[in-house]
Amino acid sequence: MAQTIRRNAAPVRRQARAQGTKTKVRKARAQTNSLVDALMRVLPFTEEQLHKAFLVLILAGAAAAAWFVAGAAGLTALAGRQLAYAAADAGYEVERVEVRGVERMNQLKVYERVLGQQDRAMPLVDLHALRASLMQLSWVEDARVSRELPDTIVVDIVERKPHAALRRADRLVLIDHTGHVLEPVSEADAKGMLQISGPGAQAQVEELSTLLDAAPALRPQVAQAEWVGNRRWNLTYKTGQVLALPQGEQRAAAALMDFARADGLYRLIGGKVAAFDMRNAPRLYMRVPGRSGQQAGDKGS
């Protein structure tokens, strides 16, 4: 009679593998513990201190996550407003506005932009938005807005400087050295200022200043400058005499310097000549009232 023999090889192998795994785990733990012990001996911390440090890191991470969630839900803004109101209750509220640097412009226009911040909690004042609003004023070249705790907003203004009066079809306006319009001005208030006219003249103000610098001795005598045909200048001196300059920055500057030298030699300004034409420089044409035709002379260097 045959006898059945049951094989138990698979459970034995599994048992052997499990036993091997346990052995490896014990060895790994032993190595890890040895490494940790070695680090603990080297680092200037106790094990208790390390536990506390890890606890702090965990709590900080949890707080950061909570703050992120709260911000996403809009709670941080609400908390910020509540803190601002608490600061106002403690006296940190806008009660005074101090404006500095204003000499020519209407100071009330600055206060109009800033006084809307009065009775507001100091932390809620948007300094950047307030500065942007002030920069829209025609006289303001630059502005700085700051808090002076506990209750004052300080505004430092850098004003634009009036350079000339620009004649338009219906009025005169003050402009700075770049041609930026400041405000309308009356004929009486513009008296004694350089007056600029002609279509497109506003865009040529800086180039006109460079041109006049070519003959600094004559510059104070220039009363008016007319931009003619969108290409060249006619200068009118305080004596009423007119100087026609050629087209082109370099040619005009050279002609003006030639005219300045001629004036130094012959005292042209204040003389009998009503108009000077240097459009064909260095040739100088002169028109004398009461005489027909023109006198011409070569005043070039």
Is residue 239 domain-shared with residue 257, that is, in the same domain?
A: yes
How far is 98 from 189, CA to CA, in rounded Å? 29
Please say which residue of 138, 159, 180 terminates a domain.
159
Write out pLDDT tens, residues 99-130: 999 999 999 999 988 887 666 788 788 899 99
* Region of residue 293 (phi > 0: left; psi between -120 and 50: alpha; otherwise: beta): left
Weakly modelled stretches of the chain, pLDDT under 50: 1, 5, 9, 76-80, 84, 86-91, 299-301
- The answer as to whether 192 is a domain residue is yes
Please say which residue of 159, 189, 208 terminates a domain.
159
pLDDT at 90: 47
- The answer as to whether 18 is a domain residue is no
* Other CB atoms within 10 A of residue 246 CB: 19
- The answer as to whether 254 is a domain residue is yes
Is residue 267 domain-shared with residue 279, that is, in the same domain?
A: yes
How far is 298 from 285, CA to CA, in rounded Å? 9
Write out pLDDT tens, residues 9-34: 455 555 656 566 666 656 555 555 56
pLDDT at 56: 61
How far is 172 from 116, CA to CA, in rounded Å? 33
pLDDT at 79: 47
Please say which residue of 124, 144, 159 terminates a domain.
159
Residue 144, C-beta contacts closer than 8 angstroms, at least 6 positions apart: 131, 155, 156
- The answer as to whether 15 is a domain residue is no
pLDDT at 84: 46
* CATH at residue 125: 3.10.20.310
- The answer as to whether 57 is a domain residue is yes
Is residue 293 domain-shared with residue 198, that is, in the same domain?
A: yes
Is residue 112 domain-shared with residue 175, that is, in the same domain?
A: no
Is residue 195 domain-shared with residue 264, that is, in the same domain?
A: yes
Is residue 195 domain-shared with residue 280, that is, in the same domain?
A: yes
- The answer as to whether 26 is a domain residue is no
Is residue 173 domain-shared with residue 69, that is, in the same domain?
A: no
- Which domain range does residue 144 map to? 92-159
pLDDT at 36: 53
pLDDT at 289: 87
Query: What is the pTM (predicted TM-score) of this model?
Result: 0.66
pLDDT at 21: 64
* Other CB atoms within 10 A of residue 92 CB: 16
Is residue 127 domain-shared with residue 77, that is, in the same domain?
A: no
Is residue 97 domain-shared with residue 86, that is, in the same domain?
A: no
Residue (of 203, 255, 250, 200) closest to 230 by Cα position: 200
* CATH at residue 207: 3.40.50
Is residue 147 domain-shared with residue 169, that is, in the same domain?
A: no
- The answer as to whether 13 is a domain residue is no
Is residue 86 domain-shared with residue 109, that is, in the same domain?
A: no
Q: How many structural domains does the chain have? A: 3
Is residue 96 domain-shared with residue 86, that is, in the same domain?
A: no
- The answer as to whether 226 is a domain residue is yes
Residue (of 136, 134, 155, 153) closest to 144 by Cα position: 155
